[in-house]
Amino acid sequence: MKLSVRWAFALAVSGLVGVMIGQTADLPMAAGRPSPSRIEHRIASSSPVTDVIASVVSLRVPLPATAKAHPAACDRLSYLRYRSADGPARSVDADRVLVAQPGIFEGAGAFESVARNTVAAAAAQGRHIEFWALDRRSNCLEDHTGTQAALSAKNLDVATDYYFHGSSVYGRRFGGYADGPATAWLGDVGLAQTLRDEYDVLRLEFPDQAARKRKVMCGGHSLGGFITGYFANWDFDGNRATTRDAGFNQCSGYFALDTVIKAGGPNPIRGVDTPDIPPALAAPLAAASGELTDIYPVLRLPAVINPETTNLLAIAGLAARLNPDGINDLVSRLPQNPNIDATLRALLSKDPLMAASGSPSIRDLYATNDAVVGALLDDNSQPLGFLQASVGFIDRGPVQDKSFPVPNEVVAAAPALGSVFGRDRKAAPSVYGNPRVVYTWADYDEVTPNAYTDPSKEVTSIAQLVRSLSEPPLDFTEWYFPMAINTDLVQGTAPAIAAHYLYRDGVKRNPVLTVQGDGGLDLGASDNPTDVPVTLHGYNHIDVLTAAQRQNDGRPEQVSTRLAAFSGR
């Protein structure tokens, strides 16, 4: 057999340079022969942080024999590995290794900026650390052939023709987005499997448990903080008498990036914990949840977030990466279909009338590719708090208050809405259909004070954001988020989870660093009484991952600075 398209194309086609670090080359396998147990490829990047080496690592870790039918590619686990250019080649020789769980609808590529900045910051302090960004097993279903081939060819048409118009890349055609039977196996990829996958990566890459405990720090972004909380309290063999496999004995500390390290589900009401389900109800509720995940194994929202639209965000990043000042390069190539049209209306409409009628059409706006990405993700435009970054401001055209989905004055009067819609005042272009008015984008360090923002509130470079969206072979946004993870997070008393969720003090056994943005999600404090959260001005939920290495106040980026210092404990 051959390795999956995810590896044979998303790595080879993109012009990535394979490097051998004590493992077999990533070559096609002869029929009937197993793929190598470990594969590592160095990846190219246009990042200005050049003293960090990045690679993608794939480990063969088959799903249980009881798993439903799934592609062979899904019997592998993947992560992005970042290390100092003048540091040791072997992870076990690094001073520390930070291992990060992604948030909901998030892939390993989202950590591209903070990982590079953290490794570089530690190197400047004389220490060689690594940062591993984990990718969920479900991402094996994604096909990045078109995006990676277009990046290599420096031609957006390669991607849009592949995904939208049936064109082939190296003899392959896009098979569409997986659904139905193709995703049924994800109904069993919930919390337990996700925790096991992280444990397997650690034990395979750090066979010596004592070395893991001494050198590894575990953490995550957003939902990844709650997954890490469970990891700290988990017992992988289900036996309290043997604690070498306990989660708290795999890590020397925990880090939270706009989240908290706490077992359980996130609760939008600060200071109110999600209560445990009474044991008498645990089994029937677990059965009901199982039926739900059998029907809906993948979490999808008809507009805004589903496999087609999350891939669309990567293509938007690619358009801006290849030609930041190009006008409507992606918009002019988008197919006309209800899903894309509904998503554009939901994210970019300036008022309820535009959202309801589609007039004026978003497609009639003249804007550069950078401005399109900015409008999709900036905190002064993006309507959902968990998708916001402080990435600059729209430029070279008149703007007005954006009143959809919620008017600015309503959010200002109801602070509790800030975690849902973001706390920043929203703006939208007010001129459509006029080719003489082309909206551009002022980067984070080009913004002048206005009614919506000022330089102190802008922290992420648009250039870095589009690079993170389009360059890493394990992407920023995730197409297929398993519904079972969400349902399992609030079922600590369910029999299958309770069998391994044996501790309630795992988080308290190691130090915690919590770094939150003042514009991020308000998720309360961790279970660790020694944890003193750091709150950063101007940072939104995504900024803790994407902020530029040098900030507008002249200081180095603070998330990575704090992580680097924490790794030196």
User: Residue 245 burial by CB count (10 A; 0-12/13-18/19+): exposed, middle or buried?
Assistant: middle
* pLDDT tens digits, one per residue of 354-401: 999 999 999 999 999 999 999 999 999 999 999 999 999 999 999 999
Closest to 271 in 3D by CA, of 530, 524, 532:
524
Q: Report helix angle 307-322 to 462-470, nearest 10.
A: 130
Q: Are 70 and 195 members of one domain? A: yes
* pLDDT tens digits, one per residue of 64-120: 999 999 999 999 999 999 999 999 999 999 999 999 999 999 999 999 999 999 999
Q: Number of structural domains, the chain?
A: 2
Would you state the pLDDT for residue 9? 31
Domain that holds residue 443: 307-470
Q: Quick one: what percent of the chain has pLDDT higher than 90?
A: 82
Q: Quick one: what percent of the chain has pLDDT higher than 70?
A: 89
Alpha carbon of 496 to those of 152, 246, 274, 287: distances in Å?
A: 45, 17, 19, 11
> In this structure, how many other beta carbons lie within 10 angstroms of the beta carbon of residue 65?
5
Task: Tell me whether residue 520 is in a domain.
Answer: yes
* pLDDT tens digits, one per residue of 428-453: 999 999 999 999 999 999 999 999 99
Q: Are 440 and 504 members of one domain? A: no
Would you state the pLDDT for residue 491? 85
Q: Are 510 and 398 members of one domain? A: no
Q: Are 233 and 313 members of one domain? A: no
Would you state the pLDDT for residue 278? 54
Task: Tell me whether residue 438 is in a domain.
Answer: yes
Domain end position, chosen among 437, 470, 503: 470
Would you state the pLDDT for residue 5? 33
Q: What is the CATH number of the domain that holds 194?
A: 3.40.50.1820
Q: Are 231 and 322 members of one domain? A: no
Q: Are 263 and 233 members of one domain? A: yes
Q: Are 430 and 514 members of one domain? A: no
Q: Are 463 and 511 members of one domain? A: no
Q: Are 260 and 320 members of one domain? A: no
One-letter amino acid at 166 equals G
Distance CA 318, CA 307 (A): 17
Task: Tell me whether residue 301 is in a domain.
Answer: no
* Average pLDDT over all residues of the chain: 90
* pLDDT tens digits, one per residue of 254-271: 999 999 999 987 654 344
* pLDDT tens digits, one per residue of 340-355: 999 999 999 999 999 9
Task: Tell me whether residue 264 is in a domain.
Answer: yes
Rg (alpha carbons) of the chain, rounded to whole number = 23
Q: Are 464 and 499 members of one domain? A: no
Task: Tell me whether residue 15 is in a domain.
Answer: no
How many CA atoms does the CB half-sphere of 465 hold within 13 Å? 32
Domain end position, chosen among 440, 470, 500: 470
Would you state the pLDDT for residue 359? 97
- Quick one: tokens of 177? 């987005």
Q: Are 413 and 544 members of one domain? A: no
Higher pLDDT, 109 or 4: 109
Would you state the pLDDT for residue 166? 96
Would you state the pLDDT for residue 495? 87
Would you state the pLDDT for residue 415? 86
Q: Are 118 and 259 members of one domain? A: yes
Task: Tell me whether residue 150 is in a domain.
Answer: yes
Would you state the pLDDT for residue 230? 97
Distance CA 409, CA 108 (A): 36
Task: Tell me whether residue 551 is in a domain.
Answer: yes
pLDDT-based confidence at 202, cuts 50/70/90? very high
Task: Tell me whether residue 414 is in a domain.
Answer: yes
Cβ neighbours of residue 394 closer than 8 Å, sequence gap 6 or more: 371, 374, 375, 378, 380, 381, 427, 429, 439, 440, 441, 442
